[in-house]
A and B are shown apart, each in its own frame.
Chain A
């Protein structure tokens, strides 16, 4: 184990069946091709590359939403090694892995505050009728969760912010940018050590991009979280990422500092179009 690594992706491959037509002999599309990648502790590691390069597929494999065909993924956390392929998707949050999806995954029928509270790990206080058989513990955990949610709203966004003023209103009324911001803030409710952020700034206006960047920096530098970030906004990558990987055809094609990767001739030709 290397102490400054939090996630090690080793020779992971994945292909999808593109047709069931039996006359086609090679009907598999190779999305990840023996991919090797490491995520360092306390850093923002950006993944860039064209659509179809395999970035989101990699996130889905790390999140255990789909299975890899071969390879391994190891999480290093608190002097322990965890082979992620032995875990089910819902067990990853307790290992310290959080995920932000590519599109808004806010709970639209719930209030803003409930959207934050659902990000908290209640444990046994979340059992049905827990307030009947463990009333004290249940109240205590619920109180801690509410205090944390209010603290996030107050200290990070402020009491003049829409989130604070409208915290009991349903989140479905929020704009897309506000939803993405709330979703990112929800990750701060959990005790995550590694966050997988899939295009957090896609489709949102510059002020919200700045806000999300601010949250990202806070997570990494104040909360000690490590981030694996998929992003198509190169300004955002340049501004926030510590390490950058350019993925192409399911492989880690080029990596280095954002300045090096974005200045790379091959990356410019194959992806940036300049």
Chain B
């Protein structure tokens, strides 16, 4: 039971992260490799607010959302001059910068030692497995918030503008829309949602250190978002299910312990290649005409 609860909480965590990634990369083509940095910022700021300032979890969430959102907005301004691959490089630079800060400013972040003793608020005081049940309830609340935030963008005139910018920025300019402003706004929302996923991550795992938020985590997030499909609601949820369920399913193959990890990685890689070959828009990506 605990195992299933843990997997369900991981699903909610990844769903929040992938929904935030899909909003930015899926709706405006701003491919980012800095999402782990925003999750890390959210985690560290959240922990500082809760442990340092004694704020309750519920109050730390909007502050984290705004601070990481503003940082994302500022990073998006780089897209004014940097397009495509060059913007991705800029996000890698930002990712490295945040990691270096978290790793080296140990007076603030405790550096590689990390921060321990973080916890989520308890929702069920009396129930057995209360920590996991609380985690699941909070995780579901985070997913509901992220889903509603995404849905309200997707089904609004603002979402239509973002899709237009994704297809043709020049046409959108002549139709009276400013791509820079609209991209900045969606980056604010996306980074803010990634930030609050970070505070949930910190609370659930109970420990954070800078190596949790490295570039390889950003690559993993982007890969998962592409696997699921972007620019809609179901893609990120499908991607989250895939990255949680498939590795666990591979563990049921009954492989020899000495080879299991490597073979599982090979099979996982082959599944990814096959997915990209046969469903290049992801498991549940936007339909192509």
Query: Which A residues form the contact surface with B (CB < 8 A)?
Result: 63, 65, 88-94, 98-99, 101, 105, 107-110, 114, 117-119, 121-122, 125-132, 142, 145, 170-173, 190
Report whether A128 and B158 are in contact in the complex, using a CB–CB cutoff of 8 Å.
yes
Of the listed residues A98, A127, A129, A170, the one surrounded by the most CB atoms of chain B closer than 10 A to its CB is: A129
Indicate which residue in A94, A99, A109, A128 contacts B189 across the interface (CB closer than 8 Å): A128
Of the listed residues B166, B173, B186, the one surrounded by the most CB atoms of chain A closer than 10 A to its CB is: B173
Report whether A107 and B163 are in contact in the complex, using a CB–CB cutoff of 8 Å.
yes
B147-171 to A contact mask, C-beta < 8 Å, 1/0: 0000011001110110110111011
Report whether A105 and B168 are in contact in the complex, using a CB–CB cutoff of 8 Å.
yes
Chain B residues, Cβ within 8 Å of A101? 170-171, 174
Stretch in B3-11, B175-183, B220-228 touching the partner: B175-183
Report whether A128 and B163 are in contact in the complex, using a CB–CB cutoff of 8 Å.
no
Report whether B174 and A63 are in contact in the complex, using a CB–CB cutoff of 8 Å.
yes
Chain A residues, Cβ within 8 Å of B171? 101, 105, 107
Residue of A nearest to B181 (CB): A90
A105 CA / B173 CA spacing, docked (Å): 12
Residue of B nearest to A99 (CB): B174
Residue of B nearest to A90 (CB): B178
Indicate whether B278 reaches chain A with its CB closer than 8 angstroms: no
Chain B residues, Cβ within 8 Å of A105? 168, 170-171
Indicate whether B185 reaches chain A with its CB closer than 8 angstroms: yes
Report whether A65 and B173 are in contact in the complex, using a CB–CB cutoff of 8 Å.
yes
B238 to chain A, nearest CB (A): 19
A109 CA / B289 CA spacing, docked (Å): 7
Q: Show 11 A/B contacts (Cβ-Cβ < 8 Å), sorted by A.
A: A65-B170, A88-B178, A105-B171, A108-B289, A109-B163, A109-B166, A109-B167, A109-B289, A110-B163, A118-B164, A126-B158
Known: A101-B171, A109-B288, A125-B157. 17 other contacts (CB 8 A): A90-B179, A92-B176, A93-B175, A107-B163, A108-B167, A109-B166, A110-B160, A118-B160, A118-B164, A121-B176, A126-B158, A128-B158, A128-B186, A129-B152, A129-B153, A170-B289, A172-B289
Report whether A128 and B153 are in contact in the complex, using a CB–CB cutoff of 8 Å.
yes
Chain A residues, Cβ within 8 Å of B156? 126, 128-131
A143 to chain B, nearest CB (A): 12
Indicate which residue in B152, B158, B167 contacts A107 across the interface (CB closer than 8 Å): B167
In the complex, chain B residues 231-289 whose Cβ is within 8 Å of any chain A Cβ: 286-289
Of the listed residues B166, B171, B288, the one surrounded by the most CB atoms of chain A closer than 10 A to its CB is: B171
Known: A170-B289, A172-B289. A118 touches B152 (CB 8 A): no
Describe B's contact surface by its main secondary structure. helix
A133 to chain B, nearest CB (A): 11
Known: A107-B167, A131-B156. A126 touches B174 (CB 8 A): no
- By Cβ-Cβ distance, the 6 closest A-B pairs, closest first, are A93-B176, A172-B289, A170-B289, A99-B174, A89-B173, A105-B171
Query: Which B residues form the contact surface with A (CB < 8 A)?
Result: 152-153, 156-158, 160-161, 163-164, 166-168, 170-179, 185-186, 189, 286-289
Residue of A nearest to B152 (CB): A129
Report whether B289 and A173 are in contact in the complex, using a CB–CB cutoff of 8 Å.
yes
A105 CA / B156 CA spacing, docked (Å): 22
Indicate which residue in A107, A145, A170, A172 contacts B164 across the interface (CB closer than 8 Å): A107
Residue of B nearest to A100 (CB): B174
Residue of B nearest to A189 (CB): B175
Known: A130-B156, A132-B152. A118 touches B185 (CB 8 A): no
A109 CA / B164 CA spacing, docked (Å): 9
Chain B residues, Cβ within 8 Å of A117? 157, 160
Chain B residues, Cβ within 8 Å of A173? 289
Chain A residues, Cβ within 8 Å of B164? 107, 110, 118
A80 CA / B166 CA spacing, docked (Å): 35
Report whether B170 and A90 are in contact in the complex, using a CB–CB cutoff of 8 Å.
no
Report whether B161 and A107 are in contact in the complex, using a CB–CB cutoff of 8 Å.
no
Report whether A109 and B286 are in contact in the complex, using a CB–CB cutoff of 8 Å.
yes
Report whether A128 and B185 are in contact in the complex, using a CB–CB cutoff of 8 Å.
yes
